Amino acid sequence: MIDDKTRAAQQYSISTMSTSLSSTPSTLQDDTATNMPTKNVEQHPAANDIEKQPIAPPAPPTFPEGSFWGWSTLFGSWLIMFVTFGYANAFGVFQSYYATGYPNQTASDISWVGSVQIFLQFSMGAIVGPLFDKGYFRYLMVIGTVIYVVCFFMVSLCKEFWQTVLCQAIGVGIGIGFLFLPAISIIPHYFHRRRALAIGIAATGSSTGGICLPIMLNNLIAQHGFKLAVQYTGYLLLGCLVIANLCMRTRLPPKHNDVARPSPRELFASVPYSFLVAGLFLVSWGIYFPIYYLQVFGEEHGISENITFYTLAILSAASIFGRTSPNFLADSIGSLNLLTFMTLFTGVTIFAIFGAGSPGGLIVVTILYGFFQGAFVSLFSPALISFSKSIHEIGLRIGMGMLIMSFAALTGTPITGALLDRYGFYAPTIWSGVMTVAGGGCFGVAAMLERRRKRSWKV
């Protein structure tokens, strides 16, 4: 009997011999090929045709225009709008409480809390936008959720004004900045033909928050005090953010490092895009004045508090329709075209405040302003996105536009407040209306130049 070791040795010897024999012809062929003179070998014509065929470019991405995850993600974006812009619309409640809670601080000092918060919410887009394009959506959402919730709960524990500035103005502002842009930028992953409408639906979350959160905070403060009111509201915000994180997910692959990304300088080399961003700056300088002061305007003209108390709620309710119904047309006639008209109408409505000295006039102006201003809020993002040459530029395009808007948002409210203190309602109303109309004019120039470039009326 041959043992296993002997059998294995025999098999190894046989395999070695066969390998050496099989390699010999190839070695001889290699030597022969090396020593033989080279000759031009004619290839088959079909081979030449194959070599000359150009490489097909990658297929453009497809969009489901909905699907389960599309609508789920849209609902998550709606929740993000509810807890970010909706909360920002409720800052008037904090402004009123801080006026008595911090008696040594002026109204102008307190207003900087809201201004800095909005500034960070927008300016963070310059950092968050490129990170979103690179595929860090989930990280941005989780980081933003943690920062927002922790800082919001800390507001209830603040005893000094500088602590409020640190937690609410800076902390909450940074947290919202991480959340807001990804929630808007992810919608085009699922919607293209109905993109403006989808973004408009998501934007109604901020209007709903602007209705619910002020009423909720006012009643909670009256019944349980400021500390518990903020904490109860914080639990609501936490629940909304957890659900939003579970509902939202990306669909398109992230941008690879080898794909060229335009620099900010290249973005602003586009004259139409530059006019659009300049218009956003001007509009953001003036458009928010009525939100903060329409109620005060009504009170100074002797209108009953039963009406003026609900001014902000009426405005937010009207903005729900403004953020959806115009967007049905935006997908057909172009977001930039419609943004121009809605912004100009907003400016005209601001000038109409001079005729709102009666209860009926105040309600009419509030409804019209809420509708047109809501249309502006829901249309400026689709207008910025329309300049993107690739799906991987969306975050950068929106981020740069929001960065420019942030400086106007930071200084706009203090400017109108200073004008109000010195000249009354006449000067800030004129300022607000002129800046809004001037911004609408910039949008019109951008639309005209873009129509020439694309040779299409739809922009």
**Residue-wise DSSP of 404-416:** HHHHHHHHHHHHH
Range of lowest pLDDT (25-34, 211-220, 422-431, 432-441): 25-34
Tens of pLDDT along 55-65?
Answer: 555 556 677 77
Say if residue 276's pLDDT is above 90. yes
Q: Are 92 and 214 in contact (CB under 8 A)?
A: yes
Residue 270, helix vs strand vs coil: coil
Q: Are 114 and 95 in contact (CB under 8 A)?
A: yes
* Cα gap 186→199, rounded to integer Å: 10
* Best CA proximity match to 128, nearest among 385, 381, 402: 402
Say if residue 169's pLDDT is above 80. yes
Say if residue 15's pLDDT is above 70. no
Length of the chain: 459
Q: Are 458 and 337 in contact (CB under 8 A)?
A: yes
Average pLDDT, the chain: 84
Tens of pLDDT along 135-161?
Answer: 899 999 999 999 999 999 999 999 999
User: Is residue 222 packed enough to be buried (19+ CB in 10 Å), middle (13-18) or exposed (0-12)?
Assistant: exposed
> Between the ranges 67-71, 173-177, 253-257, 286-290, where is the mean pLDDT highest?
173-177
Q: Are 96 and 278 in contact (CB under 8 A)?
A: no
Q: pTM for the full model?
A: 0.78
Structural domains in the chain, CATH included, are: 64-254 (1.20.1250.20), 258-459 (1.20.1250.20)
More reliable by pLDDT, 34 or 309: 309
| pLDDT of amino acid 253 | 67
CA end-to-end distance (rounded Å), the chain:
89
Say if residue 87's pLDDT is above 90. no
Radius of gyration (C-alpha) of the chain in whole angstroms: 30
Q: Which one-letter DSSP state was computed for residue 324?
A: T
Range of lowest pLDDT (104-108, 130-134, 229-233, 356-360): 104-108
Range of lowest pLDDT (27-41, 181-195, 217-231, 437-451): 27-41
Q: Which one-letter DSSP state was computed for residue 105?
A: S
Q: Which one-letter DSSP state was computed for residue 37?
A: P
Say if residue 53's pLDDT is above 90. no
